Structures are given as structure tokens and as C-alpha cells.
Structure 1
Amino acid sequence: MSSASRDSPLFSDFCRLLESISARKGTDLKKQRLEKYVQEWRARYGDFFDAMRLLLPHLDKERTTYGMKEQVLAKTYVDVLGLGKDSEDANYLIHWRMPGKNKQYQKIVGDFASVAYEVIASRSTVIRGTMTVHDVNQQLDTLSITSGRQQQRDIIRHFFVNYTADEQKWIIRVILKELKVGMSENSVLNVFHSDAFNLFNVCSSLHKVCVDLKDPFIRLSTNDIAIFYPIKPQLAHKELPQDVPKAMGGTDKFYIQQKLDGERLQLHVKDGVFRYWSRPAGRARS
């Protein structure tokens, strides 16, 4: 769940960070901007988890799905905004991949969040963002555990009534689990801590990464696999049999798992408790 602390920065400031990172050319400049934000957050708010799960929504295993892809979001916004089903803006939302006659939309066709922003901006009455990063995470936590159409509509309406059009654009990107700012998960995690990427690979938990590596000057003392923290599986790699020892780093002792069709699972067992994960290491099943 989100941090228990209510002391949280404005979400509008977080959105400005994303805009700034997206506009910068080159990974080094993007990392420099993010590093400054992380330092300021640590100094004032401490736990970075609330921000990390918004920076890397596709890795947030506590919110594996929102049950809303582009088509559902489009229909929900048509409803929330009170658009006529056959209106031009409703058509742009529903058919966001197709170029229309409006030149403004032709430039952003194929990017649902940007199309939605253009439709929302002319109707939004929120001029200045007043909601915090913590507020956003609370709403997203609720959205992730609801499947009811009316509940989804109520949350999207809450976003429309309380957030600027620009903020809603980034919220939509989080819901779709793709920020499109030009930074890989490796880069983001390494800005947070030099051991963050390695730790995430053996625990698949952004929350654990933020807790265990809260101090950027303390290196990780151990990187062992732990029960009930699924490791990030290594992708299969094709090699000829005679080349396998070299591919394994020249060692004479290694393990190979034969690749078979079907489900590949991780099973963790302790004290009579069984939990298993599919290969993407999503939400645990007991």
C-alpha cells in the first residue's frame, strides 16, 4: 500500500518532473534531473516508494492491473465528460489510433494519453494542481482492486474533477503502465541506488527496494534470494551445446533447465505455506 505518511509533494510537481525528463535528450541528462528529484524527496519525505511506483508502474506488483486499457478508458471518459456518442471528440477517444481530419489530433495519433489530454483540456476547470502524490496512489490502489464499471467511472470522474488535464495525462500513462519518458527501469533504479536493480532482480518488489536501500550511501550487504520474494527470471538464450560453457562464463559447474512448452512457475514453500508465481512474477497465489 502507499506510504502511511500524509506529508507528500504535490502531484503537479511530479508531473513537471516527468515532462522535464521526457523533454531532455540523452540518458545522462534524464538521470541528472531524476537524481536531483530523488535527493530532494529523500531529504524532505524519506520513503520513496510512493514516487517509485509511479515512475515504474509496470513493475509495481502490488497493483498488477487496473482492468482499464485504452478502449475502456476512452468509453469511461466519454461518459464522464458527457460527450455525445457520435461527437467528434468521442470519436477521437474511441478511435485514438486512427488519424482524423483535425490536424491537432493527427500529430498525436497512436498516443492515447495525449489524445485524451486534448479532449480533457478544453473541458477541465481545474487550473492549479492541489492533490499530492499520496492522494494519487490512494485512488490508484482503489482502482486496482475494483472491477465494477461504476466504481471505475467514479474514480475517473474524481480525477477529472480534482486534477488538471496535464495531471490526468500522466495518470492515464500510469494506468496503462507506460510512461514514455525515455528511461529504462535499469536507469531509474540505478539513480535511486547503485544496488537497486540487482536487488529488484531477486525480490521483484519495489517496496522492498525502497525500504532496504533508503540510504544511498549504504551498499547492499547481501543479495540472496529470499522466500516469498520471486526472483526475476533470466530470459532463455540460444546456444550450441559446445558453446554453453563459454556462455556460462567459463565455469565448469552450472545448471540448465530444459525449455518446454507450458507454464513456468516459481513455487515457494515455508511452514506449510505455498505460494507460486507465473514467469512475469505478478501477484502471488497461495
Structure 2
Amino acid sequence: MSDGKVKFSVLCSMFNWMQRSKSSSKKRSKFRKFLDNFCKSADDYFSAIRLLLPNLDRERGTYGLKESVLATCLIDALGMSRESEDAVRLINWRKGGAKTGVNVGNFALVAAEVLQRRQSLVSGGLTIKELNELLDRLASSENRAEKIVVLSDLIKKTNAQEMKWIVMIILKDLKLGVSEKSIFHEFHPDAEDLFNVTCDLKLVCEKLRDRSQRHKRQDIEIGKAVRPQLALRISDAASAWKKLHGKEVVVECKFDGDRIQIHKNGVETHFFS
């Protein structure tokens, strides 16, 4: 079954199951079963995995919707008064108090509570393909009014549980309790290595759709972003020193800021941040 027919509700069921499960191996197994049952082509894989790892998807632009802006857009998409109790809850989702409820501090759950009073309990039948098309529209929308129209369409085609996950996809944090490394490895043993030297999720899905076929290690390519190597976290200085095996080292301060990667090929220059 291709992603054009697979309902987003199927993916939501997997998300719900993974979020409830405490076993990393069972989460990976559940993901593998989803891939085997519902993904048949590179497009199918990419359509699903970009929703599972939205923070790694470079094909789609940024939404320009952090929680505060998303809250007001949802309020307008639902046609609520800014002074209504639910609107205030969305706007003040971080704040505690008698009217905020147990989900204070979790925007997606607060939004789901508000939405379930205004949406049908039954799924509208939105497919994974349709969701990706709507998210593309949301990302390419040039102004707030256009974004509200897309959010309104999403609300009409989903129920509150599905919208909760869509909100989390927009915020690029699904909180599934499973690492990118695990997702990559379950998709293909070489997926993480290829992504690290290309930062291209679509390319990974296209080249590695056959899990039984190993991929020759790819070198860095000018014009394709390389994933930076991050420092390993250690519990204390003594543990870090032990890992150095007595070697002489130089230590420098770590400053906050933007990491920018520059690729230059003749007169052609690419900047990645």
C-alpha cells in the first residue's frame, strides 16, 4: 500500500504505541513492521520518515510557528474569541493555575484538550500524502492568514488525537522516546552514516530502500551539508580524563552561537547553518 492510500491515523496509532511503550527494542520492532506493511517505494519511506524525524527534514522549509504564534493561529483557525477560556489556555500553555489542567507546559497536549471539544471524534481520513502536501503548503505560506487557512483545513480533516501529533510535527519534537540512531538503524544499517555526510533524508530513503543491500561508505561531497560531530557527554571530569588515556590535550571554552558550514567550489559557495 503506497503512502497515497495509507491513512495518517495508522501512523498516529504507531506513535501512540511507541510513546506508551518503555522498551526501545519493541519500539524499533513496531517501526519495522510499519515499514514492511505500508512502505513499498522510496517515496513511501520518505513520506513517513520525514514525519517521524521532522527536525531532520531539509526538503520542507521552516514553518515559522513556535508555540506562541501557533497558539494564536489555532485560535483563529478554530474561530475562537481571544478572550475565551480555551483561547487563554492555549496562549498561557506554560502557566499553571486552576484552569490550566494537568497538561500545563506541554503545548501539544493542551492543544489536544482544546481541539477535542471542537473536532469530530472520528478521523477525517487524511492520508500521509495529503498531510505532507498540507505541511508543504504551511511551510511555504508567506503570511499568517495563509497559515491559518492551512491549519483550518488540517482541523477539518483530522480528529484531536491526529492534530496533537501534527502539532508535534510542526514543532519538530514528537517525544517518542526513541533515538534518531535507532530509527535510522531500523530503516537500514547504513542510513545514519549516509545521513551524516549528506544531511539529506530524501536521499537516504532513495538510496537505501533495500535493507538487504549494503551501501558503500560515501565520502563528503561539496554542496551537501555534513552533520557536525558533537562532543560526547561525560558525567564528570575524572571520567573524561580516563578516556584520554593520559594523552596531552588542549581544552578551549565552548561558546554559545550558530554553527555555520561553508562549502566553496570555484565561484560557487554554499552556506549551511
Corresponding letter in the other structure for 2:226: I
Instruction: Report whether the alignment pairs 1:170 with 2:147.
Output: no
* Amino acid paired to 2:67: E
Cα drift, residue 137 of structure 1: 0.6
How many residues of Structure 1 are paired with residues of Structure 2 in the alignment?
263
Q: Give the Å deviation of 1:129.
A: 3.2
In structure 2, the CA distance between the partners of 1:46 and 1:235, relative to structure 1 (3 Å rule), is closer
1:51 counterpart residue number: 48
The structural deviation recorded for 1:84 is 2.2
Deviation (angstroms), 1:259: 7.9
1:82 aligns with 2:74: no
Structure 1 residues 236 and 145, CA, compared in 2 at 3 Å: closer, same or farther? same
Among 151, 171, 179, the alignment partner of 1:156 is 151
Deviation at 1:64, TM superposition (A): 4.3
Match of 2:90 in 1: 93
Structure 2 distance, partners of 1:45, 1:232, is 22
For the residue of structure 1 that corresponds to 2:270, the secondary structure is strand
SS of residue paired to 1:106: coil
Q: Distance in 2 between matches of 1:96 and 1:186?
A: 31
For residue 21 of structure 1, the aligned residue among 18, 22, 40 is 18
Deviation sequence 1:57-106 (CA, Å, 0-9, x none): 1111122420001111111121122222222111111111122324xx52
Tell me by how many angstroms 1:236 deviates: 4.8
**Matched position secondary structure for 1:48:** helix
1:9 aligns with 2:6: yes
Following superposition, the deviation at residue 277 of structure 1 comes to 1.1
Q: Quickly say closer, same or farther: Cα 1:182–1:222, change in 2 above 3 A.
A: same
Residue identity in the other structure for 1:139: L
Helix, strand or coil at the partner of 1:91: helix
What does 1:193-208 align with in structure 2 at a 5 Å threshold? 193-208=188-203
In terms of mean alpha carbon deviation, does 58-67 or 44-53 score higher? 44-53
3-state SS of paired residue (1:221): coil
- CA distance in 2 between partners of 1:87 and 1:7 (Å): 38
Determine if contact 1:10/1:129 at 8 Å carries over to the other structure.
no
Q: Is 1:134–2:129 an aligned residue pair? A: yes
Q: 1:31 to 1:263 in 2, by over 3 A?
A: closer
**Alignment-derived partner of residue 41 in structure 1:** 38
Preserved contact between residue 50 and residue 201 of structure 2 (Cα < 8 Å): yes
Q: What amino acid does structure 2 have at the position aligned with 1:222? A: R
Give the Cα separation in 1 of the matches to 2:200 and 2:267: 23
- Equivalent of 2:142, from 147, 152, 169? 147
Q: Is the 8 A contact 1:92 1:100 kept in 2?
A: no
Structure 1: give runs of 5+ residues left out of the alignment. 251-255, 279-286
Separation in structure 2 between the aligned mates of residue 237 and residue 161 of structure 1, nearest angstrom: 45
Paired residue secondary structure (2:271)? strand
Q: CA deviation at 1:147?
A: 3.2
Call closer, same or farther: CA 1:207–1:154 in 2, change over 3 Å: same
**Residue 31 (str. 1) matches residue 13 (str. 2):** no
Unpaired runs of 5+ residues, structure 2, are none
Partner of 1:121: 116
Cα deviation for residue 23 of structure 1 reads 1.0
Does residue 1:184 correspond to 2:179, yes or no? yes
Residue 260 of structure 1: how far off its partner (Å): 8.7
Distance (whole Å) between structure 1 residues aligned to residue 151 and residue 232 of structure 2: 42
Per-residue CA deviations over 1:5-51 (Å, capped at 9, x if unaligned) read: 77341111111111111111121111111111111123478640001
Instruction: Summarize the Cα distance change of 1:70–1:39 in structure 2 as closer, same or farther, 3 Å threshold.
Output: same
Give identity over the alignment, percent: 37
Normalised by the size of structure 1, how large is the TM-score?
Answer: 0.83
